[in-house]
Chain A
């Protein structure tokens, strides 16, 4: 049996094994007032169907419930489950009971009872191995967040519908990860009140969701209409799944996270069709009109005509849109049992001239629309035709269900944007917009696309408003790799701009001077680094080509009897330095650890001070960021030095003012460093991460998760041409994040120059 592991928990206390489990069960619970009779009846029935051994197996499960103090209700529900799942074997049922007993111990008998109550429905949906996965996921949740078991059990059907038993397991894992240790957040996630949870469910239904396609859609929209459209994902309300139709609010186009049931390879086309339809409204639609006293049916019909009108206009401008929209018109002339079906056919008839439909209503709609083809620009057209058709459909006595009505075909929007219902939807749109803007990653950029070089905000007087806890303003959000699920979670981490404190720069400078020759060696290394762009050099002693001018001069010299100059070649060489560097300084709690005589943070400060001074002296572009985190919503980045600023007293004071605290979310910091380097024009781009090499955070149980995420961030940066090096301080550093060759272990500050020369040596060869 696949569920064997659960079926016989050896940890359970067992009385003398002489008596069979069924006998022991009756001895312990057979006389109970609440379930005694039901237990005896169930056992009697089972004895008729099963062998004595099977009955004992089953009773073993029931005993587990008794021993776990699960209560009479659980026993009764177990009997009910047994009666309801006739096909199930004794072992499978016993496994159910043992798992429920485990839940009872961890999360209380109420949670166990809820699970047993949901079990028959789950059993009907899942085969035994999958059922065990469901129980195992609940058991995991019970260990980590006991009060979330009951809410999740109640929503099992929704979660299982989205992704099956595996999806359920992943959902629990993702929820525990997303909630971190925070009970409120966990609760919100597992009651599906958290939009992230709903999004996860929608995404688990299939690939090809909005987030994957967003950039391509913006480009598509920009290419067609000239300006990039503003897009956002639709959030559902409460536990209700998000809508499956586009919704227009203000100039924002909100799209479903996924179109459920649409295969991944059809999704890009569908999203494009939906965007093109929304843009047709935007470009060719009129202003919003008051809904007034129009009935829901009339509103739906006017919307249908308006859809056809703006699409016709859009296809005049872009004829290829017909091929984009066409495949989604699938209505057929079948017997119309309600108004919605007939309206789907009318929608197709107005779109597709080759579609044949015998229905008189459809034909009339077609005729009215064709008659008006000369004045399609008239925005009142839809209202007029819709009004006429509304009367007809009313006389046909077809049922119209306003609550269940959805616009067809799939790519069209809900048409609520057409109407003014008098409930100030503008305010609503604004609210949505603000929420969207806040969530959008937006490194602040000035006019020429560089990340703004505002002075770091140590001067409290000029500071922007900062949240009182010092976490700072959100400046960007980045995805993070989920190792367990094997997917990248979009917009998972939020990077905040944390204010810098001012420290004792003199003490730092003195500590630097106290290291004999250290600063000078670093300066020499930095100066000697071959990080320039290649260029043709003339008058070289050797090379691939003759330097014509030098060769002629040498020839002349030979003829007049002079000693010719030997350097008559041209060669490739490196010219001006052209490198931009970001130093990322880990200031997490663990940098308080001592490495030899100094703490990790002290060594980091000395290294950055020496590097900064050296790069400043020769004019390399160089920025310093310190990072620490407190959960994924709070990755704090402190700007110690900007690319444009100097490594002056103020920067040294900010460097000296760094203090250890919080955790290490290295991946997010690396991605942000990459984003800051991206707009710079430099031949070489370099991220130098100074860390104790062990990413961790309070909301992540397994440190390997963040190490893997950081490794992927390094790889992604490398793909964009940024070299990432890890200067790892302290023992036991993992070379996997940066790659063995790019990991520079430094155990004492005196080792830094040697490691740095390795770095520059590698850089010159790359």
Chain B
């Protein structure tokens, strides 16, 4: 909609087609309300349950471009805010993705923010309170946030070690929305749609997911995610036999422990009808 008005750099980040998202609760309303108040949002939940898809869907719904940054352990404040580069005529300032979003009024999504270095998490602080500004230390500039700018982060409290936890001063700046794997019927609907498989096949894959999620804490750090189930579904859709698809998309990636893999494989076989498990 407003993409034409966006600065050139941001137009690439515009979302033109509706990303499929199946709401499981009031998350769309909460996010929309938070956006109306320009409150920063934290999405909590296990991997592969639809956090990223949800942000894409909301950006489309709100008509804002979406700048996504996947945080990693080398991500520094400069990588987010920007840095001077050398050009023939001298140094030029290169905006980082966060600065681009702040200036252009995009939604900035920082995925797995705890992975980033401490200085990177602190740089977002002024953006998440009443100041709504990004100080560019190196440039000596304070960039006021565009009225449409909003910050969203994702955070999976489960698998990070205790040393890698969000600081209390960071956590308390956000409105949180909790995500979990959807109820079986809903998840089947999602898998059927995303992987383009039959309802029966999707329901079978949901059973597979439930088996593995029962082993959370029993040797598995996480059960099979919705994303994993969709991958298995896509293999099925492309003609792979069921046991091969489950093995390739779920059993092999999820654990390196042979005992665990065998037990999970047996439990999966036990919960699928003979026709599907063949």
Interface residues of A (CB under 8 A from B): 215-220, 222-226, 228, 268-269, 272, 276, 317-324, 535-536, 548-549, 552, 555-556, 559, 681
Residues of A within 8 A of B277 (CB): 320, 323
Residues of A within 8 A of B262 (CB): 216, 268
Partner of B212, one of A220, A223, A535: A223
- Cβ < 8 Å to A, chain B residues 229-266: 259-260, 262-264, 266
Residues of B within 8 A of A268 (CB): 262, 266
Residues of B within 8 A of A555 (CB): 86
Taking a contact as CB atoms under 8 Å apart, the answer to whether A319 and B214 are in contact is no
Partner of B274, one of A220, A228, A320, A556: A320
Taking a contact as CB atoms under 8 Å apart, the answer to whether B211 and A320 are in contact is no
Taking a contact as CB atoms under 8 Å apart, the answer to whether A548 and B272 are in contact is no
| Least Cβ–Cβ distance between B169 and chain A, in angstroms | 22
Give B258's nearest chain A residue, CB to CB.
A216
| Known contacts A215-B259, A276-B270; A552/B84 CB under 8 A | yes
Residues of A within 8 A of B266 (CB): 220, 268-269, 272, 324
| Known contacts A319-B271, A320-B269, A320-B270; A552/B214 CB under 8 A | no
Residues of A within 8 A of B91 (CB): 552, 556
| Least Cβ–Cβ distance between A556 and chain B, in angstroms | 6
The 4 closest A-B pairs by CB, nearest first: A223-B267, A219-B263, A319-B273, A320-B270
Q: Does B219 contact A (CB under 8 A)?
A: yes
Taking a contact as CB atoms under 8 Å apart, the answer to whether B215 and A681 are in contact is no
Residues of B within 8 A of A319 (CB): 271-274
Q: Does B8 contact A (CB under 8 A)?
A: no
Taking a contact as CB atoms under 8 Å apart, the answer to whether B271 and A222 are in contact is no
Taking a contact as CB atoms under 8 Å apart, the answer to whether A223 and B215 are in contact is yes
Instruction: Report the bound CA distance from A194 to B28 in whole Å.
Output: 66
Residues of A within 8 A of B211 (CB): 223-224
Q: Does B125 contact A (CB under 8 A)?
A: no
Residues of A within 8 A of B73 (CB): 535
Residues of B within 8 A of A217 (CB): 263
| Least Cβ–Cβ distance between A529 and chain B, in angstroms | 20
22 contacts across the A-B interface (CB closer than 8 A): A215-B263, A219-B215, A219-B219, A219-B259, A220-B266, A223-B215, A223-B268, A224-B211, A224-B270, A226-B214, A269-B266, A318-B270, A319-B271, A319-B272, A319-B274, A320-B271, A320-B273, A321-B270, A323-B269, A323-B274, A552-B83, A681-B161
Residues of A within 8 A of B90 (CB): 559
Q: Does B74 contact A (CB under 8 A)?
A: yes
Give A227's nearest chain B residue, CB to CB.
B214
If over half of A's interface residues share one DSSP class (helix, strand or loop), that class is named, otherwise mixed; here it is helix
Residues of A within 8 A of B274 (CB): 319-320, 322-323
Q: Does B218 contact A (CB under 8 A)?
A: yes
Residues of B within 8 A of A223 (CB): 211-212, 214-215, 263-264, 267-268
Residues of A within 8 A of B83 (CB): 548-549, 552
Q: Does B1 contact A (CB under 8 A)?
A: no
| Least Cβ–Cβ distance between B99 and chain A, in angstroms | 16
Instruction: Report the bound CA distance from A268 to B266 in whole Å.
Output: 10
| Least Cβ–Cβ distance between A471 and chain B, in angstroms | 33
| Known contacts A220-B266, A228-B218; A556/B259 CB under 8 A | no
| Least Cβ–Cβ distance between A312 and chain B, in angstroms | 14
Instruction: Report the bound CA distance from A224 to B86 in whole Å.
Output: 60
Instruction: Report the bound CA distance from A409 to B86 in whole Å.
Output: 80
Residues of B within 8 A of A215 (CB): 259, 263
Residues of A within 8 A of B84 (CB): 552, 556
Residues of A within 8 A of B86 (CB): 552, 555-556
| Least Cβ–Cβ distance between B89 and chain A, in angstroms | 10
Partner of B162, one of A219, A222, A552, A681: A681
Instruction: Report the bound CA distance from A226 to B90 in whole Å.
Output: 64
B118-147: CB near A (< 8 Å → 1, else 0) gives 000000000000000000000000000000
Instruction: Report the bound CA distance from A322 to B268 in whole Å.
Output: 13
Instruction: Report the bound CA distance from A548 to B91 in whole Å.
Output: 13
Q: Does B5 contact A (CB under 8 A)?
A: no
Taking a contact as CB atoms under 8 Å apart, the answer to whether B263 and A220 are in contact is yes
| Least Cβ–Cβ distance between B22 and chain A, in angstroms | 25
Taking a contact as CB atoms under 8 Å apart, the answer to whether B264 and A219 are in contact is yes
Having A272-B266, A318-B270, one finds 13 other A-B pairs with CB under 8 Å, namely A222-B215, A223-B214, A318-B271, A319-B273, A319-B274, A320-B268, A323-B270, A323-B274, A324-B266, A324-B269, A535-B73, A552-B91, A555-B86
Residues of A within 8 A of B271 (CB): 224, 317-320
Q: Does B183 contact A (CB under 8 A)?
A: no
Taking a contact as CB atoms under 8 Å apart, the answer to whether A216 and B269 are in contact is no
Residues of B within 8 A of A323 (CB): 269-270, 274, 277
Give B84's nearest chain A residue, CB to CB.
A552
Instruction: Report the bound CA distance from A225 to B273 in whole Å.
Output: 17
Give A216's nearest chain B residue, CB to CB.
B263
Instruction: Report the bound CA distance from A268 to B219 in whole Å.
Output: 19
Q: Does B85 contact A (CB under 8 A)?
A: yes
Give A217's nearest chain B residue, CB to CB.
B263
Taking a contact as CB atoms under 8 Å apart, the answer to whether A222 and B259 are in contact is no
Instruction: Report the bound CA distance from A217 to B211 in whole Å.
Output: 14
Instruction: Report the bound CA distance from A414 to B259 in whole Å.
Output: 28
Instruction: Report the bound CA distance from A536 to B273 in whole Å.
Output: 51
Instruction: Report the bound CA distance from A217 to B267 in whole Å.
Output: 10
Q: Does B78 contact A (CB under 8 A)?
A: yes
